[in-house]
Structure 1
Amino acid sequence: MTLPVAAEADEFKLSNNQRISCSRGLSPGKLTTASCRSYAYLFNARTSEYFRCSVSLAMTRDNKEVINVQSDGGCSKRERIFETDGNYTFDAAETEPPNTNSFFGSGGYAVWASDTGSRKLRGCIIIASGLGNDVSKCIDMTFD
């Protein structure tokens, strides 16, 4: 009698390194707008695919009341970090929000993934090119 082999289930993990950035602006007519955006990463520990997720909230008010609140959010799927399935860990970090010295616009983010069963670590940097697509490069770490 043979027992059926259980299919490996996907295991999703949330990154430990969420970030939030906020800004304020003044509009004509003494209106104040405050907006915040936060990013997080959901990682498939088996396949090394991940999702970059964002949530944003913008609030406009005058001196007496909140006039308008807008929110948005969602996740976009990214490519695998490793070519084969395994048992991986993951973390990510966002760059600082744009400033007057920001040449490439909103900047980019860094992704780190490792195999929990072997000494295997890959670091990736993803930068917005300013031309509508991202430039990405991953490097396998060496251990001296």
Structure 2
Amino acid sequence: MSEKKAITFSSAIQEVSWGSWYDHVKGYWVEKEKKNILYLFYEDMKDNPRREVERIMRYLDLSLSDEVISKIVELTSFKSMKENPMANYSCIPAPVFDQSISPFMRKGEVGDWKNHFTPEQSKMFDEDYEKQMKDVNIPFRNLI
């Protein structure tokens, strides 16, 4: 009988994502100023989508009317995108992307991880995150 190997969050992230998620995120964060990268966070977009659209506009040095900004906010809402075949991947054939196994767009909720992590898993992740990301100050939020 084979022994079960203990899997840490770090090793799970490493195995699932074909490389370290931590290294990937830290690498882009460190390069953001040199390479002119705009970081967007899902929680910020959910919290205040108009503010984030305006951030993108400033980043791209664009000026749009309030009406156009409002339309962008409306069309990029989770609800609107979940109903749009070009955004929700429902136009992709099942042999390529089988939505019955896992839909591309799930709930669009911030903090849904709480429904999947036990308190112990949450604590383990928090500890691992703190250890792995101690050398960068990325303003992640996991709740609004």
**TM-score tier (shorter):** under 0.3
Relative to total residues, which structure has the larger strand share, 1 or 2? 1
- Quick check: which one's helix share is greater? 2
Answer with 1 or 2: which has the greater Rg.
1
TM-score, normalization by structure 1: 0.19
Structure with the greater relative contact order (CA < 8 A, sep ≥ 6): 1 or 2? 2
Structure 2-normalised TM-score? 0.19
